[in-house]
Chains A and B, each alone.
Chain A
Amino acid sequence: MQRIGVFVCHCGTNIAATVDVKAVAEALGHEPGVVISQDYQYMCSESGQELVKSAIREQKLTGVVICSCSPRMHENTFRKAAASAGLNPYLVEIANIREQCSWIHKDIATATDKAIILGKAAVAKVHLNTPLSSMESPVVKRALVIGGGIAGIQTALDIAEAGFDVDIVEKQPTIGGKMAQIDKTFPTLDCAACILTPKMVEASQNEHITIHSFSEVADVKGFVGNFTVKIKKKARYVDETKCTGCGLCTEKCPMKKVPNEFNMGLDNRSAVYIPFAQAVPKVATIDPNYCMMLRSGKCGVCSKVCSAGAIDYKQQDTFIEQKYGAIVVATGFNPINLDKYDEFAYNQCPDVVTSLELERLMNAAGPNGGTLLRPSDKSHPHTIVFVQCVGSRCDDEKGKPYCSKICCMYTAKHAMLIREKYPDTEVYVFYIDVRTPGKNFDEFYRRAVEQYNVHYIKGMVGKVTPKSDGKIDVQASDLLANEQLHIDADMVVLAAAIEPDKTARPLATMLTTQMDTNDFFTEAHPKLRPVESATAGIFLSGACQGPKDIPETVAQGSAAAAKAIGLLCKNSITCNPCVAHSDELMCNGCSSCEKVCPYGAITYIDKEFRMPDRTTKVRRVASVNPAVCQGCGACTVACPSGAMDLSGFSNSQIMAEVDAICK
């Protein structure tokens, strides 16, 4: 015989102002099995919890229903309270009469009726609740960081600092990411390389950190605490262990007409290359698309000049497999492709550049040795127009709906640096609004306007037209002066929107994590769990989760590290017991559940069954790994025979709730 206690919370006036809580307690007191039904001002308070605990002890309750706020808020509070009073925590049910009732209704009678119905559903469910106990699963004390930009480096350094081994997988030949390409950083204008490269070196020297450069994640299996990851080390045709990074091969390589991606294609590199002087690891890589030896078997110069004998034209992709307890995603961002923006003539005119290209043009290691010259004729530009929000905050298909966040600040930086170095240059910035939330950000922007006399004009550029005299006609509107402008510019700089790296989407599939419609990774909770993904053991670092500047990226990188360390510190983890299980006698082995499982928790085993006639029969049946299952219930719906069921949310419990609501 069930003995159920019902506890109705006022939540101050949050619930009590719209729901007649006394009437709810009274009505639920008459439900079958309910032996005590009370209301109280703040059920989550110490005294409220004591009310529940003493009722469990005195009334010998077999189930508890709390009518209160969302279970996301206090379900754990009441489960713990029940456990301390000797009741299995999974015999507690929450009826959400706040978010789903009092907050959305105005009429007391309606809200009270609905609260009673929600309470009845919870009572009906708790009748079928069974005690559940959590399992433990061991934790592999090693972390994987995917992406070796500043986010990944920071995360790896912090995890290593805590004494755990950590591997960085970076798809480029060197770590460093976008920050390595940036010239100066806002709002302090210190050199990006000067603050990044020490961290890169630190990462390479740390005994706990292994860097897999020019590598990709090929496959991920397993679950929190126990991931098995296959890493593809792409053939770089150079033996990493032998190469000393002397760079002689890059000098002697006869194939020098390869667009240099590190300088955004603004100059050329050789077919065997080291991306930049401070690359980590400082190891040469042969580009098979351009290397004459690899393409036609004729050349071999690099091999001849290499005194270390590191060149290996026969190198193949290799795979390594490693176990990890935690995975941090730090795949970063890229500027969007501007091919569709004909109005800005990006594809027609070399002097129309993106902001990242401008970074390289101004950088001492860039194509012009740090002197700002027009790409077309290497002349000094005297009028430069910056266009903000190219593809950001865009409602059409071409761009992105979100604000890329970093453009306002880096444009102020660019404008200021140009005015500082070349005071004879006029700088115009066309903006929709200037967004500068951040420490010392608005001061920085105001310095650009007030101290450096950068012309900030509110309005968008409509058309950029290259002219025959080498100038560029920029047609724009000044919304404050309400006039149309034509500016004769020498260069136009487009603040292209940023988007997540293209490798993020397939990676999300492998990791069974969620992404939003813009392919940014989704955090477990936008406010309260910002660096965790919804998949246990997968953490998010940097711009892969949303547009971020460097300080924010570093902060999030460290936060993700802290979360990963928190996991790695444990010898074992407690699993959520509300997981799916299959009734093997009913399972057909049809794979429907496996196909819909977003976590890869379901596998199939061939199992021997005893038949009535004393024979045995081998059948293919589903098997759920309870450590991987997140309890989403997709499998229970997909299962045609009803063999799949979810503990704590069983089919019969849900049907009982529906019946209670429909009665």
Chain B
Amino acid sequence: MQEAMIKRAKELLADGSVDRVIGWKRGEFAYDITPAVFTSAEELEHDFVFDDFTAANVSKYLVKETAKEGKILAFLKPCDTYSFNQLIKEHRIDREKVYVVGIPGGPKLDIEKIKAKGITGVLSVKNEDYTLKIETLYGEETMPFSEAVLDKCASCKSKKHVAYDELIGEDGDVLESNRFDMVEKLENMTAQERFDFWRGQLSKCIRCNACRNVCPACTCENCVFDNPKSGIDNKAAADSFEENMFHIIRAFHVAGRCTDCGECSRVCPQHIPLHLLNRKFIKDINELYGEYQAGADTTSRAPLTDYTKDDCEPSVVHERGVE
């Protein structure tokens, strides 16, 4: 797949269709993959990577990239295309300036799950028939592929590309996922249990802002958390209440726009399951206003910024919040 992508990227660069390519390159470690922009065939040959660790969603980078001159080639996995559409809908990406090549999605691997098995000093990871052959400083290890899959991929919602100019490989379908199982579990807790669960999780937050910075729904010119006029900037460190509120405010801000790409939880260095907050909103929206998938298209009106006579009464929403 990587070869096919590099080949196609080189063709499009050569014929002038695009002048840049956004994909991924290796960081310090083999599993440490980051999004990167390539401008020449040489760079592509040398650095371009597409493997089991290229989980990062590159859609958000297109906000800045399409503000520039010229056209960029973006390789988007199915989940990334939802974010892409949502950003088109919000006028954050200039569609004219992107050439989208749809590529197959995950499941991608979570290095933390490999490390959790006590496997350290990882040099490379190879998938051989769903068994991972892991070369480390201390010799070769193996583990089943399924045990190292990223949480967000384990509950994948769709293998279908909702936006592309061309595809490499086959398109998939929207999947029946189990992504709301954990939300349901939380809903069934008592208020105190739920409060304790979230206090436990959110108290781990070091307020590094990684979740916000990676989130494709968080593309504000000036984030409320950076805006002194908003009254909520830089308060996280002040007390634990503010620390909890950071994530809740963020979840409210992306409600109805979050495509459930799962990047927030993937990048959290403290392993807070932040996506559960967003999923709770998605589940509620589905139940209260009818099924809605943000980013499934570029034209539909989101339930929270639309009004129909069939909308549920506010009291319905209220009653659900009472024990």
Contacts and interface: CB of A to CB of B under 8 A. Distances in A.
Contact of B231 (A617, A641, A643, A655): A655
B67 A617 contact: yes
Contacts of A517: 309
User: Contact size class for B?
Assistant: 20 to 34
B224 A588 contact: no
Interface string B213-224: 000000111111
Given A620-B91, A642-B229, A652-B231, A585 B221 contact: yes
Contacts of B219: 588
A647 to B, nearest CB: 15
Given A595-B305, A595-B306, A652-B229, A641 B223 contact: yes
A353 B161 CA distance: 57
Interface majority SS (helix, strand, loop, mixed), chain B: loop
A508 interface: no
Contact of B253 (A596, A640, A643, A652): A640
Q: How large is the interface on A (under 10, 10 to 19, 20 to 34, 35 or more residues)?
A: 20 to 34
A641 B305 contact: no
A642 B220 CA distance: 10
B35 to A, nearest CB: 21
B92 A641 contact: no
Interface in B292-319: 301-302, 305-306, 309
Contacts of A640: 220, 253-254, 257
Contacts of B257: 640
Contacts of B178: none
Interface string A572-603: 00000000000001111111100110000000
A638 interface: yes
A591 B220 contact: no
A50 B300 CA distance: 56
Given A588-B219, A590-B92, A652-B229, A641 B224 contact: yes
Given A592-B305, A595-B305, A617-B67, A587 B91 contact: no
A620 B94 CA distance: 11
Contacts of A590: 90-92
A591 B91 contact: yes
B192 interface: no
Given A641-B223, A642-B229, A642-B230, A596 B92 contact: no
A641 B222 contact: yes
Contacts of B230: 642
Nearest to A596: B305
Nearest to A620: B91
A607 to B, nearest CB: 12
B227 interface: yes
Contacts of A596: 305
A97 to B, nearest CB: 26
A586 B90 contact: no
Interface string B93-127: 00000000000000000000000000000000000
Given A617-B67, A620-B91, A587 B221 contact: yes
B48 to A, nearest CB: 29
A588 B221 contact: yes
A641 to B, nearest CB: 4
A588 B92 contact: yes
Contacts of B223: 641
A588 B301 contact: no
B224 A642 contact: yes
Contacts of B224: 641-642
A591 B254 CA distance: 14
Contacts of A589: 90-92
Given A595-B306, A638-B305, A586 B231 contact: no
Contacts of B306: 595
Interface string A637-663: 010111100000000100100000000
Contacts of A591: 89-91
Nearest to B217: A640
A556 B8 CA distance: 70
Contact of A586 (B67, B92, B222): B222
B117 to A, nearest CB: 40
Contacts of A586: 220-222, 227
Nearest to B301: A595
Among B92, B219, B257, B305, the most chain A Cβ lie within 10 Å of the Cβ of: B305
B300 to A, nearest CB: 11
B221 A642 contact: no
Contacts of B302: 595
Contacts of B222: 585-586, 641, 643
Nearest to A640: B253
A88 to B, nearest CB: 23
A642 B226 CA distance: 12
Nearest to B63: A588
Contacts of A595: 301-302, 305-306
A517 B309 CA distance: 8
A422 B7 CA distance: 94
Q: Which of A517, A588, A604 has the most CB of B within 10 A?
A: A588
Nearest to B219: A588
A587 B254 CA distance: 16
Contacts of A587: 221
A643 B224 CA distance: 9
A595 B253 CA distance: 16
Central interface residue in B221, B253, B302, by most chain A CB within 10 Å: B221
Contacts of A588: 90-92, 219-221
B122 to A, nearest CB: 39
B213 to A, nearest CB: 15
Interface in A595-649: 595-596, 604, 617, 619-620, 638, 640-643
A642 B222 CA distance: 9
A585 B223 CA distance: 11
A125 to B, nearest CB: 15
Given A588-B90, A652-B229, A641 B220 contact: yes
Most buried by A among B67, B89, B231: B231
A499 to B, nearest CB: 15
A617 B67 CA distance: 9
Contacts of B91: 588-591, 604, 620
Nearest to B94: A620
Contacts of A604: 91
A237 B172 CA distance: 52
The list of the 9 closest CB pairs from A to B, nearest first, reads A641-B220, A590-B90, A586-B222, A595-B305, A589-B91, A596-B305, A642-B224, A640-B253, A642-B230
23 contacts: A585-B221, A586-B220, A586-B227, A588-B219, A588-B221, A589-B91, A589-B92, A590-B91, A590-B92, A591-B89, A591-B90, A592-B305, A595-B302, A595-B306, A596-B305, A619-B221, A638-B305, A640-B254, A640-B257, A641-B223, A642-B227, A643-B222, A655-B231
Given A586-B222, A640-B257, 9 more contacts: A585-B221, A586-B227, A589-B91, A590-B92, A591-B90, A595-B305, A604-B91, A641-B220, A641-B227
Interface of B: 67, 89-92, 219-224, 227, 229-231, 253-254, 257, 301-302, 305-306, 309
